[in-house]
Amino acid sequence: MKKTGASNKSDVKLSKIAVKDFPIVCVGGSAGGLDAYTRLLLNLPADMGVAIVIVNHVRTMATMLHEVLPRFSKMPVELITERLDIKPNYVFIIPENKDLHLLNEEFRLKPISKPRGWPDVITVFLSSLSQHWDGKLIAVIVSGYDGDGSEALKSIKEVGGITFAQKPDTAIQPDMPLSAIASGFIDFILSPEAIAKKIVRIAKESKSIPTP
């Protein structure tokens, strides 16, 4: 009986590990971001085993991305709510006026910590990912104003993550990608279509790595 109990505990432990063995892709953008999001999603398959989290750099304007993006995505698109489970093969959208965190494989929403000036919601979520997610992390900074996200790229690299910036001449508003590139922590500078192809390749490589 003890042996069976030990086996059950082992199974639970392995299942916990398995839950967190898929990559999370955080896509951060703002002005001109819709163009980048659609170009990216149109080139991502439905079953690659990756969770896409779009963190749009807005503060108070209600997001409509969860209504617009399903036309461009082969994956279901869902607006994030408190304690929503993160899972692969979904596109998740940050709601307005909230900071986004991740804890125990669940999304957590908090009142926005920077209510005035340029928000830093991308930086907040990337920092949370680097602290609370054991699987592969991918950060993608696309078209937008300001430099949200840049400060957290170092932490993504420190946990073995991969970082992308949209090629500035393919962005409607290049400020955010340029700021990310200037940080010195960007691995690839590509168009949204090329970023999508690279993410697919990373996802395939992640699947080929045996679960511990």
Domain range annotation of the chain = 19-207
Kindly report the CATH number that applies to the domain delimited by 19-207. Answer: 3.40.50.180
Q: What is the pLDDT of residues 20-67, one digit of tens each?
A: 679 999 999 999 999 999 999 999 999 999 999 999 987 655 679 999
Q: Tell me the C-alpha distance between 82 and 132, whole Å.
A: 16
Q: What is the pLDDT of residues 147-162, one digit of tens each?
A: 999 999 999 999 999 9
Tell me if 166 sits within 8 A of 142, measured CB to CB. Answer: yes
- 5 CA to centre of own chain: 37
